Structure 1
Amino acid sequence: MLDLYKLLVHLPDAVVLLSPDLKVLEATDEYLRVTLRSREQLIGKDFLKEFPDNPKEPESKNEQLLRKSLETALRTKKPDNLDVLRYDIPRSDGSFDVRYWEAVHTPVLDEAGNVSFIIQKTSDITERELNKHALAVQESKFRFMADAMPQLIYMTDENGTITYYNKRWFDYTGNSASDLQWEKSIHPDDLEVLKSKWKEAQRSVTPLQAEVRMKDAEGRYRWHLTRAVPMRGEDGKVMMWVGSSTDIHETRLLVQELLSSNEQMVTMADQLQETYQKAEAERKIMEQLIQKAPFFCCILKGAAHRFELANENYQKLMPAKDLIGKTVVEALPEVVEQGFIAILDKVYQTGEEFVAENMPVKLDRYNTGKLEDVYVTFIYQAMRNEYGEIVGILVFGHDVTEQALLINKAKALGISLA
């Protein structure tokens, strides 16, 4: 004869039987396993009292939702589905295990149509939900970092259709967040050339690079270096394109001014053009978001501004310095009297970003005690945790020393810069 009780308790699903007054009648071994209970601890007990809310985690306070679903099944005498909810499981030592669940409550009726008991079938989906939350956090970090970059950042799908712009794109163009059209931001004389290069890049699956004039929110056009690189999947097929537009207006105007000046300036113009082309060729826009980025970047954690990360371009500013794990004061004592610690403190305390263009800074780049003049364009951007608290500072920027020195030299020779 079939032993129905033995069959019930050995079902591979997490199932518990409840009386109409929500007392535990029986449970499968799988249910006892996932809820960290023994049969002796659970049978005959008040179901909801055995699984109270986690008092330390507001997100997990879902006893009311559980009770509502059970009461709905009792009242309607029909199954009631309980959507995904966080409901932490208490341990014997008073701690709680973080858990996410899906459940269905099915009433079983007697011959008179009254509810004899309720079957709760539960699915532990904790791993799936934690992975989903982790992915959401990573996406949030990427968007924060993309929005903090000085460049105009964009992404497309595999066919070249725009799917994302960072905040600086909308700030520069003045377009609304729902307007993803890029054509109207390009100078009409540059549009067909850019479209042709973009089509060729897609055909050959090679990086796009073009210099175009882009219209800002005031209706003015400024020269930008636009680059895009394809991201491939494991099968080698293009999944998406990631690109950026970097303002090169002043540099391009200077190049044009020098190239059109007298013979005395020819040599200088050639040197500037060579330097400019070399710098642009070496930069690998978005090849890697941090370590291989075409700008210097570092992350400073805590009120002491301790280096947590410094990419290759940042390290190039001071190749003989050991940065990671040290505070800015420890690693770069020479910048204290130059006012940079005070600026960092203000950004950390207020959350207001700090932007500087062509700012001179004296650095002991090789730990020799000799200070060198370096010119940088950069931004300090406060980093916040999920509660909105400031936990560090993101630093992004460019080393513009060569350009600044050439501009200063050009000004000394009487060249007027637009």
Structure 2
Amino acid sequence: MNDPKTSERPVAAETAAVAAAFEGSPNPYVLLTPDLRIIAVNRAYEDVTGGRREDIVGRSLFAAFDSGPGSDAPENVRQVRASLEKARDTRQRDHLAVVRFSVERTMADGAQGFVDRVWSATHTPLLNATGEVEFLLQHTTDVTDLSPTIRPEEPTTALDAIVGGSVLHRARSVQEDNRRLETERNRLVEMFMQAPGFVAILSGRDHRFQMHNDAYSQLIGHRDIAGKTIREALPELEGQGFYDLLDGVFATGEPYEGRESVAHLQRTPNEPTETVYLNFIYQPIRDAAGVVVGIFVQGHDITENVLAAQRQKLMIDELNHRVKNTLATVQSIAVQTARSNTDPAGFAETFQSRIMSLSHTHNLLTQSHWEGADLRAILEHETEAYGQTRVSLVGPPVSLAPATVLSLGMIFHEMATNAAKYGALHTPEGRVLIDWALADQRAPKLRLTWREIGGPKVTAPDRRGFGSRLIERNIRHDLAGEIDLVYAPEGLIAELTVPLDRTAAR
């Protein structure tokens, strides 16, 4: 077996060699942590900057060196910091062509003072085994001698001045261009990321994601799709036609625009897909030769707008249906009331009473946006004119569908009217007891008993009037229920059974 101590010796020797090379290099080097603190400098760096390692190691790079009086400290610090952060964040080497920094020097008279110098720097990220930035290496070169405007003494020859000035001018020009381009690029990227619509850039025939903004990420459930093909990133789109559309745009170079297109996206991991509606465009991206190399995707999630439009159409259709039904009901009430009342005054009174009952029921439904109403609220509406002490209501809350509300509203109106004309509510001592309950939970049914007591003696009618026919028609035809009317001498008893297949009990 290998001796661990023996196997460690080559590593230690290699580390020592690297350290010696770092220290002995004629090139100035400084080693920084990712938060830009100095952890090592070599001798050449000390010589060229005038700093001592015992004074600067462990400090921030920008705190370790005073930029000196009269210098443009904010700008030069910003340039160096931006270059270092770019190298750290992109994990790519970055070059800073020229930057001014003052260094402390011993003057001819022996006094200490600051001297303006021009520097060029290269910043290299050093990665660990996992690919993360562990250190930043700065290689700094004093290029003041190339600049006759900074150099304190005159150049040796006119040629030196021309060459030095030309090189420095070009370096500064390139650096300013790069800085301007970087600023413009950052501004465009920021606009891209903050765009209200979803945006993505796909490259190649396999439509690989190069960039996408926050809105696109939100649309697909914040998945990690960078560098993946469309088929790898969004496999649930298989069979929905989007792959074929992208292939067609790439092959033909013709853009495609989708309007209210339906897409089924898995926006939550391990959950079913969700249906979304999209307006979008696939725009081909071409290279300098005009060849399609990618596709620009831009669009908007219009799901809420589409659903709102669908709800509005449904409401309009429902409203039209209700208006037609209401007009048919009014027509029927008018015809049947006219048959039962030969006297115009009696017709007007009865007809108006029934129309007002229908109106009250509509008001109840309007308050709930036509989603339904509670049984107790309907009964209270139709009996409140006779006083709370004369009508007893006992039963659980029951939420009824709009169609059931309309039918029961008319039924209870007729029963209350009959009680006031001929039954218990015709005399001061009479009362109406209304009890209800729910039966059969698998197929729920409403069972309601209307019992009149304390009124005049009751006898079965010789003929059925419109009210009786209306009650039976609404119960059996409109509600598919049953009603049993018992004309007991002490008072009418009506037992109703109505299925609630379209009504939810609370």
Same-fold call, TM cutoff 0.5? no
Decide which structure has greater helix share. 2
TM range (shorter): 0.3 to 0.5
Larger radius of gyration: 2
Could you tell me the TM-score, scaled by structure 1's length? 0.35
